[in-house]
Amino acid sequence: MSFVHNEGSFRFAKDVKVTIDGIDKHFNMNLDKQQEQTLVFETSGLENKVHTVEISTVVRTETRGINLDSIDIDKDGELIDIDVPTNLKATPGDSQVTLKWDKIENAESYTVKYGTESGKYNETATATKDAYGNFVIPGLTNGTKYYFVVSAKVNGVDSEYSNEASATPQGGGSQPDPEPTTGDRAILVVTMTTGLEKEFDLSMKEVNDFIAWYEGKQAGSGSASYAINKHDNNKGPFSSRKDYMLYDRILTFEVSEYSK
């Protein structure tokens, strides 16, 4: 990365600070004589990842501040909007994937989109502004590879998507988990704050996963929403259907376990 300065006939800052990933570097933009398009700063050997770069003057008195003609980066690099989530990582679990990405200071919320094909995302989940460090997508099929991207909403506008991350949930084997047999199932009835009741016929593992998420959220950790697989209630030409529960919209829930 390098900066090129077009001097012209004005005086500019003698001490310009470039902060790269929290590390400060300095250069002088006030040249001794008038000349055009002079390379005033260059750094190399940066790791191939997203870097945060800030440019500022240390002392601005009696100068016109900063005047840059160009900022050059190598062919593998690109400038990214500061409101775009970066460094998205996906970690697989049992029937779920945990997502982490870098915080966007002014984000009102985040939108996660995912699917089973790279670049094709047919499922959507909304994360709160505080869920960027530990957002769980539950109800996934073990042994199936999923692809994820995330965008941030800032001032009511959605950003571009982050980098794509992928992960394959596993449940003790490479094959998808079979549906549990009767005797290890229950009816989960969730009553929403609106009075609406939602009923699901689930395995006890799915019920316990839901309870673990709910109790974790009560304790102040975990994502704001939880996806419940609707299984045989899948009507229409869909590969799957999930009902996303928002924690603050749940009034109560009831579990009725089948007899053995």
Mean pLDDT within 189-196:
85
User: Contact, 135 vs 171, CB < 8 A?
Assistant: no
Question: What are the tens digits of pLDDT across the range 162-185?
Answer: 899 999 998 754 334 444 444 588
pLDDT band at 116 (very low <50, low <70, confident <90, very high): very high
Map 93-120 to HEC letters.
Answer: CCCCEEEECCCCCCCCEEEEEEECECCE
Q: What residue spans define the domains of the chain?
A: 2-72, 89-167, 185-257
User: Which pLDDT score is estimated for 50?
Assistant: 64
DSSP 8-class letter at 209: H
Mean pLDDT for the chain?
77
Buried/exposed 7-38: b ≥16 CB within 10 Å, e otherwise: beeeebbbebebeeeeeeeebebbeeeeeeee
Span 89-167 CATH architecture = Sandwich (2.60)
Inter-residue contact 30 to 60 (CB < 8 Å): no
Record the pTM: 0.45
Query: Residue 161: which of 171, 172, 152 has the closest Cα?
Result: 152
pLDDT tens for residues 68-97?
Answer: 666 777 766 666 656 788 889 999 988 889
- Residues 228-245 have a mean pLDDT of 69
Give dist(CA 207, CA 33) in Å, integer.
74
Lowest mean pLDDT of 108-112, 143-147, 172-176, 235-239, name the range.
172-176
3-class DSSP assignment, residue 138:
coil
Higher pLDDT, 16 or 228: 228
